[in-house]
Structure 1
Amino acid sequence: MIMKKSNTRIVEFISYFFILLFCYAGISKLTDFEKFREQISASPLLNGSSQFLPYILIIVEFLIAGLLCYRKTRTIGLIGSLFLMLIFTGYIAKLLSTSKNLPCSCGGILEKMSWNQHLYFNVGCVILSIIALSLNLKYSRPAE
């Protein structure tokens, strides 16, 4: 029982971290939306998708944050967090390996990180989401 409670707290803590991260990132992008849109259009990997992608990213970040707020939707939110962080991490890794000109469209404090720091941060977020998802799947089921 104690193990389940502590693991549930870990899932909650990681979920709160992602809620803060995605809300912060979404708000940062909204507050300087034109700059965000320009940075996406300047990306060598996203040059064809700059018209709708800024809107989609912001909506997805807020949607995942909302899903993480409730126990009933937390698993879906954690899966969304994992996939979004995998996409962001893969994007950064691809940019680092192929491009010299690296526009950052993250906003806020995340924009101040170097690309390597950002990659490590994202890998850490992927690991956190895997931990939270596995604990949530294990301990959110009713006891048998």
Structure 2
Amino acid sequence: MQPKSSSNHNQISWQDGIAFFLILLFIYTAVSKLSDFDQFQRQMKLQTIPVWMQQILILFLPGVEIITGLLLAFTHTRLIGLYLSAILMTLFTGYVALVLINYFEQTPCSCGGVIKILGWKAHFVFNIFFLLLSILGIYIFNRERRTAWH
């Protein structure tokens, strides 16, 4: 077995750093929602989406965020976590984009923790940042895997 090159070591460090920040994001928001579950539930019920969808999101969103964080924490499940992170961030960013173009009559924020105090434009930039971080993580993970095979 050959030792890893220093460039490969840097890729692993980038991958770990990206995973770390995404884990912080998803675990923090999930714990914030669960710690004030009544408030999260009230905010979700104010969304202008069908009631059945509200119930699904109330029940599953914090759990999906925790699962995403856990998948990101382990190298052998990290790629799945990165894809799930990218999907979630795409959905969250899409919602904020619709808010910014005034698509909804009312726009409650059911985000967790301090994220809910961001204005919608700042929220959009925040989400884009984490979406791009997820995509970069997927790219680095796949590049590292291709390099390991050669």
Of 53, 65, 69, 1:61 maps to 65
Ranges in structure 1 where 5+ consecutive residues have no aligned partner: none
Comparing 123-132 and 38-47, the one that deviates more: 38-47
> Larger % of helix: which?
2
Does the C-alpha gap of structure 1 residues 135 and 18 become closer, same or farther in structure 2, counting only changes over 3 Å? same
The aligned residue for residue 114 of structure 1 is: 119
Q: CA RMSD in A?
A: 1.3
Shift of 1:40: 1.0
Matched-pair identity in %: 34
Match of 1:40 in 2: 44
| Contact 2:82-2:138 at 8 Å conserved across structures | yes
Gaps of at least 5 residues in structure 2 are none
Counterpart residue type for residue 3 of structure 1: S
**Residues 70 and 99 of structure 1: CA distance in aligned 2, closer, same or farther (over 3 Å):** same
Q: 1:39 & 1:26 partners in 2: Cα distance?
A: 14
Decide whether the 8 Å contact of 2:99 with 2:120 is kept in 1.
Answer: no
Where does residue 75 of structure 1 map in the other structure? 79
- How far did residue 29 of structure 1 move? 0.2
Deviations 1:83-107 (CA, angstroms, capped at 9, x unpaired): 0100100011112211352101012
Moved more, 55-64 or 133-142: 133-142
AA in 2 matched with 1:84: L
The alpha carbon displacement at 1:34 in A equals 1.2
TM-score when scaled to structure 1? 0.94
Quote the Cα distance in structure 2 between the aligned partners of 1:119 and 1:33: 24
2:30 corresponds to which of 26, 29, 33: 26
2:6 matched residue in structure 1: 2
Residues 8-38 of structure 1, C-alpha deviation per residue, up to 9 Å, x if partnerless? 1111101011111101000000011111111
Structure 1 stretches of 4+ moved >3 Å: 45-48
C-alpha distance in 2, partners of 1:67/1:46? 30
Deviates more, 1:49-58 or 1:70-79: 49-58
Q: What is aligned with 1:84?
A: 88
Amino acid aligned to 1:136: F
Partner amino acid for 1:67? Answer: L
Query: Which amino acid letter does the alignment assign opposite residue 112 of structure 1?
Result: I
Shift of 1:48: 4.2
- Which residue is equivalent to 1:133? 138
Q: Secondary structure at the match of 2:75?
A: coil
Contact persistence 1:96–1:115 (CA under 8 A): yes
Alpha-carbon displacement from aligned partner over 1:39-58 (angstroms, at most 9, x marks no partner): 11101245541122112111
- Quick one: distance in 1 between partners of 2:121 and 2:61? 22
